[in-house]
Amino acid sequence: MSWKLVVRRGPKVVKSSHPELAGALRALEEALRVVPESGTRTAFRREYAPVQQVVARGEVRGPRRVRGGVDLRGDGSAEAWTGRLSKELVAAGAGETAYAALGRVLRSRVGG
């Protein structure tokens, strides 16, 4: 099985391939260790608070068309999701990071 990782930070896109899900998740967490931009931004006459801004997004693609990823917000929080066209948020358990929650859900969907 091969897992593909796509990380987007603004216009910059970095792609990599990993033989195992664990390696792809480690690479995802490492790639999203950026200092988030803080402050409110205005676009289209609307103000967006840091928590509303996605400063980086990482997506993991695996076998059986399994997809999921993590959004890094402007306030430093991370949010896991699954899906392709419509994203479904992944709730993290007690003491679980967004990356661990994503791994748990992706493992259950590929059966291992």
Nearest to 73 by CA among 47, 103, 49: 49
- Residues of the chain with pLDDT > 90: what percent? 60
Model pLDDT, residue 110: 87
Kindly report, residue by residue over 31-72, the tens digit of the pLDDT. 998 766 667 888 888 888 888 888 899 999 999 899 999 999
pTM here is 0.88
> Residue 74 burial (CB < 10 Å; 0-12/13-18/19+)?
buried
The rounded mean pLDDT for the chain is 91
- What is the predicted pLDDT for the residue at 12? 93
Question: Residue 10 has what pLDDT?
Answer: 85
